[in-house]
Amino acid sequence: MANFSVEKKDRYSVVTPFVEKLDSRVSPELKSELVMINSTGDRNIIVDLINCKYCDSSGLSAILIGSRLCRDSDGSFILANLQESVKKLVAISQLDTVLTITPTLDEAEQMLMMDEIERGIDEDEE
């Protein structure tokens, strides 16, 4: 069984890990999937961490790579549904100031669509 699902939407992809631990066992797979999504032209990615109760440094590294890929392609990278222990790790690592985090997947999708609208307006003004 795969460790996560990838759901392609119109303007973004949603990656949902099925594992409770985002650790060195699954992080390389997540990293390569994020690279693959971005390389196919998808500049917006939401990672729904609803199932993850634990994340280590390799998990954070995969998340940061996804964030950088989306930022470099002028897109959005959003984390949704962080469990309390993962939220604490992100805060301790001071990544809550770098990463975009929403309480729910629905809010992440709404934020992403607002980002896309704003980018469209900015492009029209140039």
pLDDT band at 123 (very low <50, low <70, confident <90, very high): low
Mean pLDDT score of the chain: 93
pLDDT of residue 124: 67
pLDDT band at 126 (very low <50, low <70, confident <90, very high): low
Q: Does the pLDDT at position 18 exceed 70?
A: yes
Q: Does the pLDDT at position 38 exceed 90?
A: yes
Contact 88, 54 (CB under 8 A): no
Closest by CA to 111, choosing from 98, 101, 123, is 101
Question: Burial of 126 by CB count in 10 Å (0-12 exposed, 13-18 middle, 19+ buried)?
Answer: exposed
pLDDT of residue 82: 97
Contact 6, 37 (CB under 8 A): yes
Q: What is the mean pLDDT of residues 41-60?
A: 95
| Cα distance between residue 121 and residue 116, in whole Å | 9
pLDDT of residue 31: 96
Look up the pTM and report it.
0.93
Q: pLDDT tens, 67-98? A: 999 999 999 999 999 999 999 999 999 999 99
Could you please report the per-residue DSSP string of 47-116? EE-TT-SEE-HHHHHHHHHHHHHHHHTT--EEEE---HHHHHHHHHTTGGGTSEEESSHHHHHHHHHHHH
Domains of the chain (ranges, CATH numbers) = 4-125 (3.30.750.24)
| Cα distance between residue 36 and residue 8, in whole Å | 12
pLDDT of residue 2: 81
Percent above pLDDT 70 for the chain = 96
